[in-house]
Structure 1
């Protein structure tokens, strides 16, 4: 026959459970079911119990199916919190009245997150739910109402301007026309920033006009601008819309530090470096064609082209060296960079031309700019290995060879490479780590104005 003590305990537990369930109204239960039903996981939270008269499982508080028979003494209620939607997946435990009351109270609080129909109508606001997650940081303060941001979408023949007040204008893509456009309502006095995207050199008249007028300039990455347009629901793409998107993105990123525009010497150096890279790509392409050519006339033509390209490569290299020597600041930086064993003339030219920000950024920012910062990709139970992404690939390709040389001939970087290899890291991973350390060391050298010193 049943144990009287056990029966009394079961009846007492069941009474507390029924009382707690009654306190959470039917509307709360329905809202709780709706809230849990909208989650991305099929996991549910079931509360099952046993009656003391027939051993049948009681209905769950959420109205779900009857729970499976739990291990343990019959006639005693048990609560199971399941993370995979199956009853009994977690370890069962015997609740006490305080546990059941707290659980019912928590479910009612979860239900209060989804406002009822009356609260949506404005008659009864829903009770705020104390979330265990950290509060997101407060947004950056908005700029003053008088400040406006201007976006410029640059084309070959014209430039579309738009600001955050809704105005737009199209003008010719010449320094004179652009300078005349920033007059009257477009006066630069009330312009907080002029945002643009790089368009392969067609933005130079805009930069010249902006610098002559003293306009603050913000260079935005096209990928960020397109992502911002999609995030704001602007799927259409026209020159006028793109200009408005750039203005909105400039206002959205107003708290980010603006990068100063490059100097004329810096722009000339970058152009020479780009031309040198093009010539080397053409040389590689002609050499590949020469391997497959069978006709004597074709082979002679390729040989003639290679001779011209080699001469142009030598001329561009000399022009790069002359441009660096002619500028005092570039010459000083070049001397500091060459003091690090592993950084040759080619790597020095690439850093000065493609990384003008070196020496003005912290180690994390400069590593991300080059593209050697590991990007973490963790979501739920998926723990993927971090990998590098983004950055300036042409510069990274040149510095990779510099890091390879430094890992073999510079004791400071050889120690880093050997330590990682001893820990079982792959060869490429160790080289990327050496490359990141090389970038941070060069950045620190330029910032401090001191040559390389072995660790």
Structure 2
């Protein structure tokens, strides 16, 4: 069957855009520059309409192209690399080149037409950039703290200690500045501000985790509880076969968000009136600390999903 939509897969790298049209099998290579993006738009106008384009998440290399395509009215989606890799293995494709990757993306889109992430709104893109930058600076501060602790056991000059203190103060200032900017971006849009107020009403969720949920999981409140847990990689995955009951494990999902939810779960396990007894019960049964935190984080995101779905703050929720 010939699809009604012209499907194109693009493998995006720092310098090149390698594309493949699923229906014709035609390949092309353009530079990943403004001129290359303009050439791509000219090429797309000559194809049967409508056109749907997909590309893998590549750590930000695809964002300028994505924004350009959407601004020109072209449907473009971002695809998870893990799903493309699994699709390649299912086809027995072991070779990997930019040309092969582009064809795999195009064929995957035919196989899974519903897959893909659409371009977030500009306010959400700014918020995501700020939350990601904050996470990077926090990681830098953690590494610096570990280095300072290690150096204190050594006989180092006083001026080096002063440099460490200055650098730590600079990082602290940047983190505070980023947090103020995150709060400002959320407050600028009414929908985001409402979502933030609802999330902050949940004991255990603070400004950082609320901002991350808004930025990294905009679908929250429009999905089932199982989907919310799966999207964050907190849903236990069974490994059963016949009479064998394998060990459950978590995997996948949006990693940066999951790390923040672990921190929120630590607070919820101590202060949330509903989740605290659950955590205590799991500990009393001898469950490992990590399993307890995962369980609380999973329940926390399902609660957040339900509260955003109903639009009712935590205080007004009946205790289960």
User: What's the TM-score once normalised by structure 1's chain length?
Assistant: 0.64
Looking at structure 1, the residues matched to 283 and 51 of structure 2 have their Cα atoms a distance apart, in angstroms, of: 50
* Map of 1:366 onto structure 2: 228
Q: Which moved more, 1:323-332 or 1:288-297?
A: 288-297
SS in structure 1 of the partner of residue 92 of structure 2: coil
SS in structure 1 of the partner of residue 9 of structure 2: strand
Q: Of 250, 254, 260, which residue of structure 1 is paired with 2:109?
A: 250
1:270 maps onto 2:131 in alignment: no
Q: Deviations over 1:304-331 (max 9, x none)?
A: 2112111111111111111111122111
* Map of 1:408 onto structure 2: 270
- Conservation of the 8 A alpha-carbon contact between 2:199 and 2:210: yes
Q: Of 247, 260, 270, which residue of structure 2 is paired with 1:385?
A: 247
Looking at structure 2, the residues matched to 326 and 148 of structure 1 have their Cα atoms a distance apart, in angstroms, of: 38
1:226 maps onto 2:93 in alignment: no
CA drift of 1:175 comes to: 4.4
Structure of higher CA gyration radius: 1
The answer for unaligned runs of 5 or more in structure 1 is 1-141
SS in structure 2 of the partner of residue 227 of structure 1: helix
* Map of 2:3 onto structure 1: 145
Q: Of 100, 110, 127, which residue of structure 2 is paired with 1:241?
A: 100
* 1:130-209 equivalence runs, <5 A: 144-164=2-22, 165-175=24-34, 177-183=36-42, 187=46, 190-209=49-68
1:295 maps onto 2:156 in alignment: yes
- Conservation of the 8 A alpha-carbon contact between 1:154 and 1:202: yes
**RMSD between superposed Cα atoms in Å:** 2.2
* Map of 2:72 onto structure 1: 213
CA drift of 1:423 comes to: 5.4
SS in structure 2 of the partner of residue 177 of structure 1: helix
Seen in structure 2, the aligned counterparts of structure 1 residues 413 and 186 have a Cα distance that, compared at 3 Å, is same
User: What's the TM-score once normalised by structure 2's chain length?
Assistant: 0.89
| Larger proportion of helix | 2
Q: Across the two proteins, how many residue pairs are aligned to each other?
A: 312
Q: Greater relative contact order: 1 or 2 (C-alpha under 8 angstroms, separation 6 or more)? A: 2
SS in structure 2 of the partner of residue 170 of structure 1: strand
Q: Deviations over 1:416-438 (max 9, x none)?
A: 33444555544433332222111
Looking at structure 2, the residues matched to 362 and 287 of structure 1 have their Cα atoms a distance apart, in angstroms, of: 40
* Map of 1:91 onto structure 2: none
* Map of 1:440 onto structure 2: 302
The answer for unaligned runs of 5 or more in structure 2 is none
Looking at structure 2, the residues matched to 385 and 168 of structure 1 have their Cα atoms a distance apart, in angstroms, of: 44
- Conservation of the 8 A alpha-carbon contact between 1:153 and 1:243: yes
Looking at structure 2, the residues matched to 163 and 394 of structure 1 have their Cα atoms a distance apart, in angstroms, of: 33
